Structure 1
Amino acid sequence: MANLTSHIHCQNCSMAALCLPYQLDQEGMNRLDTIIQRHKPLHKRDVLVNAGAPLKYLYAVRSGSLKSYTIDDNGVEQIIDFHLPGDLVGFDALAEGQHRSYSQALETTMLCEVPIVSLDELVIEMPSLRKQMMRLMSSEIFSSKQLLGTLNNRSAQQRLAHFLVTLSDRFKARGLSSISFRLTMTRADIGNYLGLSVETISRILSALQGEGVIDVQNKLVNIIEPARLRELAH
């Protein structure tokens, strides 16, 4: 496995357009590739980073998925994000130099490690890389604000419909099917993320299936009426 993954480079990675190499020329990609390290595969439930750990790397998801979450003083977990291929994990640590949340694999996951010290040096020397870093951070901030708006202003059905629409759009951006995909997170995870109970998630999924909007078979979701689902999300 190590020999196979060592030959994966930025220029031939299918997620390059969503990650740090976006809009870099060949020389820029080569320079970025020299600092990137290939992380050993994570298996389901493996923890990538712990809250409070010092920032050493940003992690680019090559395949698989993760969830990021916090744990309060009472031991209550709150999921704050789900990471898909092309996403970067670790932006929350940039402000204070230490991770503010935990990140855990939802399935077998492959990652690239980007040493933060080396990345800082490249960002200074490469304006296009700096611009992409800003774009990625801006996107993460927008997603966080969008989640707050979803939780504060929408009904339970709207929250779940919005979650499914957002996942659909994210899969489409990765060249995957936007109408048929597998949920790697549990219903409990989805409920935690959206501020809903597992029972509410199950009830709404059943209702949407009964209305012919979606079809759910275990973790496989097929969106039968995409336009209708988008209407329900607003």
Structure 2
Amino acid sequence: MTIPPTIQVACSNCNLRELCMPAGLQPEDLRRIDGLVKTRRKLRRRETLFHNGDKFTSLYAIRTGVFKTRVASDDGRDQVTGFQMAGEIMGLDGIVNARHNCDAVALEDSEVCIIPFERVEALSREVPALQRHVHQVMSREIVRENGVLLLLGSMRAEERMAAFLLNLVQRLHARGFSRSEVILRMTREEIGSYLGLKLETISRTLSKFSEDGIVDVQQRNLRILDAQALQRIVNPPGR
């Protein structure tokens, strides 16, 4: 069955509105923001939403699914720079020089809302709440990137994996999913690329967590049995 590339949409009827749109909007402002998103796009697993070097025209709010962003490292390998999920916005990397500087790839069948950036800029001048929201989204990206640098620069393998799992389930819980169970849409190799660890280290660390009764792992199904133990790994007593 062929999936239509675009579908008309209204933000006011979306159950993710509180995640990717400003809170507390007046009805009139919400109607105006509805005009920002004219279309949705569906992507198959492993399909690329945009490529490094593509012209920047739009932001993309993830409606369903999970994505990874990646860049090519100096030795030609793909370096995963992040994992994005429903309610999050992609494409901010293109604002700087009007070109995307990474690839965005769907890790499962997904759907995004396409938000032309020219409309965002124009409406931001008229709806201050939207402008503040865009700034907050950009600020969150900066904070996230700083967190990744801290992760890669100062943490041992077990600390990196524990921090990754805690962050993942917290983000999913904010979207109505379980606080302790997750289906890993990314491969262990992709997790290793993101965390700066070899595939063998990822597998060994998960096996140790399982042996210690901290997590239960069945292929891509992961259940956190002891969240406090993960917290202690990230923030050991006395540190």
Q: Give TM class, smaller chain.
A: over 0.9
Contact 2:159 2:233 in 1 (8 A): yes
Pair 1:220-2:224 in alignment: no
How far the C-alpha of 1:74 sits from its partner, in A, is 3.6
How far the C-alpha of 1:75 sits from its partner, in A, is 2.0
How far the C-alpha of 1:49 sits from its partner, in A, is 0.4
Which string of whole-angstrom CA distances, capped at 9 and with x for unpartnered residues, describes residues 146-176 of structure 1? 0000110000000000000000110111121
Aligned partners of 1:21 and 1:108: how far apart in 2? 27
What is aligned with 1:114? 115
Residue type of the alignment partner of 1:158: E
Residue pairs, 1:141-156, within 5 angstroms:
141-156=142-157
Residue pairs, 1:68-83, within 5 angstroms:
68-83=69-84
Contact 1:21 1:29 in 2 (8 A): no
TM-score by length of 1: 0.95
What is aligned with 1:166? 167
Aligned partners of 2:23 and 2:80: how far apart in 1? 28
Aligned partners of 1:81 and 1:225: how far apart in 2? 25
How far the C-alpha of 1:12 sits from its partner, in A, is 2.6
Aligned partners of 2:76 and 2:23: how far apart in 1? 39
User: Matched residue of 2:35: which SS?
Assistant: helix
Farther off after superposition, 137-146 or 66-75: 66-75
Aligned partners of 1:194 and 1:211: how far apart in 2? 21
What is aligned with 1:32? 33
Residue type of the alignment partner of 2:116: P
What is aligned with 2:124? 123
What is aligned with 1:57? 58
How far the C-alpha of 1:5 sits from its partner, in A, is 5.2
Aligned partners of 1:136 and 1:144: how far apart in 2? 13
Aligned partners of 2:201 and 2:157: how far apart in 1? 8
Contact 1:21 1:32 in 2 (8 A): no
Farther off after superposition, 103-112 or 35-44: 35-44
How far the C-alpha of 1:73 sits from its partner, in A, is 4.8
Contact 1:165 1:233 in 2 (8 A): no
Residue type of the alignment partner of 2:164: F
What is aligned with 1:194? 195
Contact 2:61 2:114 in 1 (8 A): yes
Aligned partners of 1:215 and 1:113: how far apart in 2? 37
Residue type of the alignment partner of 1:190: I
Farther off after superposition, 35-44 or 152-161: 35-44
Contact 2:51 2:100 in 1 (8 A): yes
Residue type of the alignment partner of 1:89: M
CA RMSD of aligned residues (A): 1.7
Aligned length: 233
How far the C-alpha of 1:33 sits from its partner, in A, is 1.3
Aligned partners of 2:69 and 2:103: how far apart in 1? 5
Which stretches of structure 1, 4 residues or longer, exceed 4 Å deviation after superposition? none
Identity %: 33
Which string of whole-angstrom CA distances, capped at 9 and with x for unpartnered residues, describes residues 121-155 of structure 1? 01111100011111111111100000000110000
What is aligned with 1:132? 133
Pair 1:99-2:96 in alignment: no
Contact 2:22 2:129 in 1 (8 A): no
User: Matched residue of 1:48: which SS?
Assistant: strand
TM-score by length of 2: 0.93
> Structure 2, unaligned stretches of length 5 or more?
none
Aligned partners of 2:112 and 2:38: how far apart in 1? 9
Residue type of the alignment partner of 2:17: A
